[in-house]
Amino acid sequence: MSNIQAWTTVFIVLSFGTYIFIAWRSRVKETEGFYVAGHGVPTVANGAAIAADWMSAASFISMAGLIAFLGSDGSIYLMGWTGGYVLLAVLLAPYLRKWGKYTVPEFVGDRYSELVRTIAAGAAIIISFTYVVGQMAGGGIVFSRFLDIDLNGGIMIAAAIIFLYAVLGGMKGITWTQVAQYTVLITAYLIPAVAVAQRMTGVPIPQVSFGEILAELNSLGTELGLNEYTQAFTERPQVDIFLVTMALMVGTAGLPHVIIRFYTTKTVRGSRYSAFWALLFIALLYTTAPAVGAFTKFNLLEGVQGTSVSELPAWVENWMGTGLVTIGEDVETIQSVGNNPASGADLIVNNDILVLASPEIAGLPAPIVGLVAAGGMAAAMSTAAGLLLVISSSVSHDFYFRRIRKEAPDRERLLVGRIAMAGAVVVAVIAGMNPPAFVAQVVAFAFGMAASSFFPALVLGIFWKRCNAAGAAAGMIAGLVFTISYMVYTLEVFGTSANDHILDISPEGIGTIGALVNFAVAIVVSKLTPPPSRELAEMVEGIRYPARRRTVPASAQTGPSSSGEPEAGPATGPTAGQS
């Protein structure tokens, strides 16, 4: 066993042991603890858990790699994901927490109807499955390289561990596990970034110092057949840059596994503070990612430029065993570098390995390489666990409990949820072995689906009382079907062949158009059909305004809670769940 494998094994065993211990200590026996951690998570801890849930394998493993090869066009991921989180935290999260239920489909069902709840639960499952495929693929990459096993075997190991601690503790166990995972992943991301920045520029602040190498990086890239790193719109048309950024942004605000995080706090005010802490924790990684991409690409290109195949750096041979780095046939000297086999470059480097390989490429010691591997696994597993919980809650709570056995006791509902998790893991493993694109791109497809389904239904449900069940149902179906159809049309999935993009719109950006379709259909159908009941309008108003702003007789008013805000449900009219 090499030093790298030994240190990787040490860090992964220690971190995984910690995660499983936390899950075992946090195991639950009731649905409230399983789905929303009993509404008892402190704000700082919830902020760290949200950050870990948010920063998936796409953020840790793939984003910096995409930025490295897309250059300035890669800013779509930074702008879309961070901007979308702010949109979610300000526009939707506090209102949904005030409603005080378990799942996003449950809010949609209370706001509109049981039919819309069922549609929303189906959409949540589709989105979460798509998202979790990227996490399984990312986990498989880590295990494949650093434990020297087959890529498919790595995916199966990652899936087994994720399932173990997710099924034990539910949301409570996942939340506290994600606090530990955030600590691991952010440490693993920052230490090599700071070390490389110090070594290359003498300034150990990567967010500041990476600008010093950009001119030389541009020159290196053009010599090896790549576009200039800082030049805009070289990899994507301008219209697609806008559409992808917008799809990622509004998709973020509609992701069920992120929204459910705001249900776990003790108060509505706590959900707002959780958003602040989460944004701070997320910013630590997202402001570092461009530097990691630039430094890693510079070291990669400088290390292989004009080098004969027999004298390539050791990291090339190490990663060739995974199949994610390849050398063209009959190539003797590296004259060109690419990230896509179709480019015909001498050396093909998969986007998804750059962060994991960055310590090796920079020549950092084996312990740091092992730490980065543990961080990549923490990122993949933290998000995958949250996604599995969404699938579990949609099946057991929104389908089984609401549609099949309304009298089912807690124990039975938990059993159904855990069985649903197991089924989800099996499907995700199979899909993760043959993902349709890079990890971050697969995740972007999930964001597009969320943008075209949940975001319009949530926004209209909170801010437009006239929106009714018929409009919401028609809009969600139209937006989701339109978006998925275009993705299938332009990707090689389900045995179909890929077709050219229409009007330069990529499958990652089509969610923006799908959201507009959803909004338009929902508004038109709502206008053409009877409005919601007066009681339902009261419910909507109840989550938008504090009780003291409502028209309530003075004798009926009560003092505010310690937080200054009602905990859940409207002040007057029927309670949530009576619609």
pLDDT, tens digit (0-9, with 9 covering 90-100), for 132-151: 888 888 888 888 887 778 88
pLDDT digits (tens, 9 = 90+) for 464-489: 999 999 999 999 999 999 999 999 99
AA letter at 516: L
The answer, yes or no, to whether residue 555 has pLDDT greater than 50, is no
d(CA 515, CA 453): 7
Left (φ > 0), alpha (ψ -120 to 50) or beta: where does 93 sit?
Answer: alpha
Whether 166 has a pLDDT exceeding 80, the answer reads: no
Confidence of residue 494 (pLDDT cuts 50, 70, 90): low
Whether 579 has a pLDDT exceeding 70, the answer reads: no
Cα-flanking dihedrals φ and ψ of residue 347, to 5°? -120, 120
Say whether pLDDT at 62 is over 70. yes
Helix, strand, coil % in the chain, rounded to nearest 5:
75, 0, 25
3-state secondary structure 331-387: CCECCCEECCHHHCCCEEECHHHHHHHHHHHCCCCHHHHHHHHHHHHHHHHHHHHHH
pLDDT at 197 over 90: yes
pLDDT digits (tens, 9 = 90+) for 65-78: 889 989 989 989 88
Pairing mode, if any, of strands 347-349 and 325-327?
antiparallel
C-alpha 127/C-alpha 518 separation (Å) is 16
Percent of the chain past pLDDT 90, that is, above it, reads 39
Query: What are φ and ψ of residue 60, in 5° steps?
Result: -75, -50
User: Following CA atoms 471, 473, 479, 485 in sequence, which dihedral angle do they give, to the nearest 10 degrees?
Assistant: -140
Per residue in 363-396, pLDDT tens?
999 999 999 999 988 888 777 877 887 788 788 8
Q: Is the pLDDT of residue 333 over 90?
A: yes
Of the segments 17-21, 47-51, 367-371, 550-554, which one has the largest average pLDDT value? 367-371
* Average pLDDT value over all residues in the chain: 83
Q: Is the pLDDT of residue 571 over 70?
A: no
Instruction: Report domain extents, the chain.
Output: 3-211+238-287+366-434
Amino acid identity of residue 456, one-letter, is P
- Given a cut of 50, is residue 458 above it in pLDDT? yes
pLDDT of residue 263: 65
CA distance 154 to 373: 13
Q: Is the pLDDT of residue 315 over 50?
A: yes
Q: Model confidence over 425-437: pLDDT tens digits?
A: 888 888 888 776 6
pLDDT > 60? residue 126: yes
pLDDT mean over 306-319: 92
Q: Hey, which CATH number is domain 3-211+238-287+366-434, 3.40.50.720, 1.10.1740.10, 3.40.30.10, 1.20.1730.10?
A: 1.20.1730.10
- Say which residue the tokens 């690409």 belong to: 297
Question: In a 3-state reduction of DSSP, which class is residue 41?
Answer: strand
- What average pLDDT does the segment 81-98 reach? 82
Q: How far, in whole angstroms, is CA 28 from its chain's centroid?
A: 25
Task: Read off the pLDDT band of 255 (50, 70, 90).
Answer: confident
Helix 114-146 with 410-432: angle, nearest 10 deg: 50
H-helix or E-strand spanning residue 115: helix 114-146
